[in-house]
Amino acid sequence: MENIGIVTQIVGETAKIRIDRESACGGNCVSCKGCPSSAVIIDIENTVGLCVGDRVKLTLDNKEFLKSALIGYGVMVVLMVVCAILGYMLLHNESASVICGLSGLIIGFLILKIVYRNQKEKYNIEKIVD
């Protein structure tokens, strides 16, 4: 996975990098009449001496990306299914099963949010020299 970003701020040993997300049309907004795209600000350890305004290429190993996605989705799906089954077994009611399943999904999301709160992505940073 590869993204191009611009350094917007340096705070101590951390660089704040703005990455513009690609729109649904792949950046060819004339064809879809200007769909909105958003920007993401990420914090990365400044190991290559970046300055404000530098353009950088961030690459993330595909295996790391897929592993994180599988763990994230897997935990939420497993908790949702287990809670739905437990809800049905305990209360013998499909509505309770649905509510328990949604509760398991929310609990899984909160667990992942807490676990990954301070974990930083393992991007490789390369300064782009124009």
The number of folded domains in the chain is: 2
Contact 123, 57 (CB under 8 A): no
Range of the domain at 88: 62-115
The two structure tokens encoding residue 80: 């949702």
**pLDDT at residue 29, as a whole number:** 59
In a domain, 47, yes or no: yes
For the chain, residues with pLDDT lower than 70 are 22-37, 118-121, 130
The two structure tokens encoding residue 16: 């704040």
d(CA 56, CA 6): 6
Q: Are residues 44 and 93 in the same domain?
A: no
What is the pTM for the complete model shown?
0.59
E strand spans, 12-130? 14-20, 39-45, 55-59, 124-128
- Mean pLDDT taken over the chain: 84
